Homo-oligomer: A and B are copies of this chain.
Amino acid sequence: MSHNTFGHLFRVTTFGESHGPAIGAIVDGCPPGLPLSEADIQGFLDKRRPGQSRFTTQRQEPDAVKILSGVFEDDRSNGQRTTGTPIMLMIENVDQRSKDYSEIRDKYRPGHADLTYDAKYGIRDYRGGGRSSARETASRVAAGAVARKVIPGITIRGALVQMGPHRIDRKNWDWSEVDRNPFFCPDAAAARMWEDYLDGVRKSGSSIGAVIEVTASGVPVGWGAPIYGKLDSELASAMMSINAVKGVEIGAGFAAAALSGEDNADQIRMRHGKAEFLSNNAGGILGGISTGQDIVVRFAVKPTSSILTPRQSITRSGEEADVFTKGRHDPCVGIRAVPVGEAMMAIVLADQFLRHRGQVG
């Protein structure tokens, strides 16, 4: 978990800037013999890809992934398979509009990493946010698709559960709705309402935050580790590393603070010879180790800082200046964070699975 690497045994190292020639990831430590083709990955990238509705940025990035290493196919391998060596996933950048960057070259956009990158490094690729661009998350989604192959019995799904101040009604939750609206919203009624709401936000050149929930079903009891390798600790790290995320919670999350011990601790009964919990305030994790219940994580995404309204800021040389952002931005960047959150869940679980197998067999 160094600066640009995530994971211990299943390790993802990403590279690339928004406006360089390419972005991508090296996935190291993947088990051998898993079927893996570019098509397996492309579907997840398409889900994250911008320009699919009027509610995401209109940039056109095909985000076509190429596998440059780590797979092999011959007439007896039964299709293309992982070999256990590093899998290099590359996505070329194609929609790098040649435009004038003088506006942000010298001005620090509020809410962006302009000031901090410049202060840290003294040099900065300011074109489209450079390394701090959300474009980096495409690499995660590609790596996440590989991770899913490592844990085939586990179903990972994400949904938008809050847009701006508007939460879904959990009684309406229907996973099949998620693919029927442009918001990954599991509540059909909420999705209809959000459509008008987000149109208003978009037309005014503003933006709004969101909350995403990601669950993993089918995780066996016993994955995770004590103390600093806790499953929840690594999920928190994973989700908080996504651009614009400001909060992460597991299970009951912050609401657990207001609960009594009687109400919070999930009681257990036996059903069909197996332990069954009567509730899931723990979010599927106790002591950092999976309980066998669904793993449930939520994270909050702040509103896109790129808006049309001028905001007060300063220049590189320390002069006060107003900044506003023309161009093609997401009115609710949280929408496209859904497949990214799913990918990070897959990466954390694949890594924990391999580590568990390593220590315990």
Contacts A105-B74, A314-B275 given; does A264 touch B305 at CB 8 Å: yes
Inter-subunit contact B359/A31 (CB<8 Å): yes
The number of residues on chain A lying at the interface, defined by a beta carbon within 8 Å of a beta carbon of chain B, is: 156
User: Could you jot down 27 A-B contacts, CB within 8 Å?
Assistant: A3-B29, A3-B225, A4-B86, A30-B359, A32-B123, A77-B123, A83-B130, A85-B226, A111-B265, A120-B356, A201-B260, A209-B257, A232-B246, A235-B240, A236-B248, A241-B288, A246-B253, A253-B300, A256-B302, A257-B301, A260-B307, A264-B302, A265-B307, A270-B314, A270-B319, A275-B314, A275-B318
Q: Is A273 positioned at the interface, with any CB of B under 8 Å from its CB?
A: yes
Name the residue in A13, A29, A234, A261 with the highest tally of chain B Cβ atoms < 10 Å from its Cβ.
Answer: A261
Name the residue in A82, A264, A361 with the highest tally of chain B Cβ atoms < 10 Å from its Cβ.
Answer: A264
**Closest residue of chain B to A333, judged by CB?**
B261
A312 contacts across to B, CB distance below 8 A: 267-269, 278
Closest beta carbon of chain B to A295's beta carbon, Å: 12
A69 contacts across to B, CB distance below 8 A: 15-17, 20-23, 131
Q: Is A94 positioned at the interface, with any CB of B under 8 Å from its CB?
A: no
Bound-state CA distance A121–B290 (Å) is 13
Inter-subunit contact B303/A268 (CB<8 Å): no
Nearest 9 A/B pairs, CB to CB:
A113-B287, A358-B358, A111-B265, A247-B249, A207-B261, A237-B237, A116-B289, A236-B240, A209-B257
Inter-subunit contact B125/A72 (CB<8 Å): yes
Inter-subunit contact B300/A267 (CB<8 Å): no
Inter-subunit contact A361/B357 (CB<8 Å): yes
Inter-subunit contact B236/A314 (CB<8 Å): no
**Closest residue of chain B to A314, judged by CB?**
B268
Bound-state CA distance A277–B251 (Å) is 34
A17 contacts across to B, CB distance below 8 A: 69-70, 85
Q: Is A26 positioned at the interface, with any CB of B under 8 Å from its CB?
A: yes
A39 contacts across to B, CB distance below 8 A: none
Inter-subunit contact B226/A287 (CB<8 Å): no
A56 contacts across to B, CB distance below 8 A: none
Interface residues of A in 212-242 (CB under 8 A from B): 221-230, 232-241
Q: Is A189 positioned at the interface, with any CB of B under 8 Å from its CB?
A: no
Bound-state CA distance A88–B16 (Å) is 7
Q: Is A115 positioned at the interface, with any CB of B under 8 Å from its CB?
A: yes
**Closest residue of chain B to A245, judged by CB?**
B232
Closest beta carbon of chain B to A160's beta carbon, Å: 10
**Closest residue of chain B to A163, judged by CB?**
B257
